[in-house]
Amino acid sequence: MDNCTYRYIIVYDNENNLIYAECIKWLIGEFDTDVEFVTRPEKLGEGLELQFISSKNSCHTIDVAKKELCIQGKSLKFTVNEKDFISKRYDQPFNPLIDRCSKVEIFAKDETVDFETRIWFRNKVLPFEKLKEITKVDLFRNSELLNTFLFYEPTRIIVNSYFLDKRKNIGSSEPRNLEITFIDEFNHFNNANYVINAFKDGSLLESINGSISETVNLNLRESPDELEIQIYNDGTLIYDQRYFYIKKIEIGATISSGAVKLKDGNYVEKYTTENFSVGE
């Protein structure tokens, strides 16, 4: 049995209908806490309440026949039940875990939002703003999360990548020698394999694969501007990351340099514009 905690966020109305809920199954490592608690309900307004739960046991139950999910007396009648995978790619629209890839199981009431729900939704501006302040969950921006329960199981693999030949001076050669290491935090993926793709201007520079037990050294013919790292365990994708390297930032600044007094006694501010870059 895994040593873990189930960490819940639940939002519900005054009839105990789940409006949004999520649970992260978090494996307990050396520096993690396994404290159990149930917070007092916090009123968000307009009949909505928020609660946090941390438990060593799962707190949700699923009645498959009735298609009903319950969390401590709060329920969601779902019509959709799907499994998906959340990556760390720059084009990933939603990742609540920020720095983790994760399996996710989705339970949702409907695939479409009807007219009455839209009206209800517009009346919840203040409660949803308060929810965002407390939890960072933005139901206005991610309205597809309305009437859903999301169950996350993060991939506990840390990937570190850095250039061994970092540029020391402006104008020196761009770095091309990458070192990549993998940390399997709980040794759950001893047979996992990686695929690494390096890109330049959208074109593939190099692609390599191997075991995550290795330290990877990439000596590329050109400096990459994108890197893609995927990890498979028994043929199943468990880690997927793609990101850009920022090599140059253009900055424009408007600087106030005092004021000039006009003949009519009014003052006009004097401004100068400066443009400069960082990198390259």
Regarding whether 263 and 207 lie in a shared domain, the answer is no
pLDDT tens digits along 225-259: 999 999 999 999 999 999 887 555 455 555 655 56
Q: Where are the alpha helices (DSSP H) in the chain?
A: 115-122, 125-135
Q: What pLDDT does 165 receive?
A: 87
Q: Read off the pTM.
A: 0.82
pLDDT tens digits along 104-113: 999 998 756 5
Which residue would you say has higher pLDDT here, 183 or 97?
183
Regarding whether 113 and 203 lie in a shared domain, the answer is no
Whether 20 and 137 have beta carbons less than 8 Å apart is answered as yes
Q: What pLDDT does 228 receive?
A: 95
At which of 154, 182, 199 does a domain end?
154
Instruction: Print the domain residue range for 260.
Output: 249-278
Regarding whether 162 and 99 lie in a shared domain, the answer is no
pLDDT tens digits along 37-49: 999 999 999 999 9
d(CA 272, CA 228): 42
Regarding whether 34 and 163 lie in a shared domain, the answer is no
Q: Per the structure, how many domains does the chain have?
A: 3
DSSP 223-237: --SEEEEEEEETTEE
At which of 154, 181, 208 does a domain end?
154
Within 10 A of 16 (CB to CB), how many other CB atoms are there?
13
Token readout for 170 is 């402006």
pLDDT tens digits along 25-73: 999 988 888 899 999 999 999 999 999 999 999 999 999 999 999 999 9
Regarding whether 30 and 110 lie in a shared domain, the answer is yes
DSSP 48-115: EEEEEEEESS--EEEETTTTEEEETTEEEE-SEEEEEEE-EETT-S--TTSS--EEEEEEES-SS--H
pLDDT tens digits along 259-272: 665 666 666 665 55
CATH number of domain containing 194: 2.60.40
Regarding whether 182 and 130 lie in a shared domain, the answer is no
Confidence grade of residue 10 (pLDDT, cut at 50, 70, 90): very high
218 pLDDT above the threshold of 80: yes
279 pLDDT above the threshold of 80: no
Regarding whether 271 and 144 lie in a shared domain, the answer is no
d(CA 259, CA 178): 52
d(CA 125, CA 157): 38
Regarding whether 232 and 186 lie in a shared domain, the answer is yes
Whether 70 and 60 have beta carbons less than 8 Å apart is answered as yes
Regarding whether 211 and 122 lie in a shared domain, the answer is no
Regarding whether 254 and 200 lie in a shared domain, the answer is no
Regarding whether 220 and 115 lie in a shared domain, the answer is no
132 pLDDT above the threshold of 80: yes
Type of residue at 4: C
Q: What pLDDT does 271 receive?
A: 55
Q: What pLDDT does 278 receive?
A: 47
CA nearest to 9, candidates 33, 45, 32, 38: 38
Regarding whether 129 and 11 lie in a shared domain, the answer is yes
Tell me, rounded to whole angstroms, the distance of Cα 128 from its chain centroid: 19
- Identify each DSSP E strand in 185-262 by its residue range: 193-200, 203-211, 216-219, 226-233, 236-244, 249-261
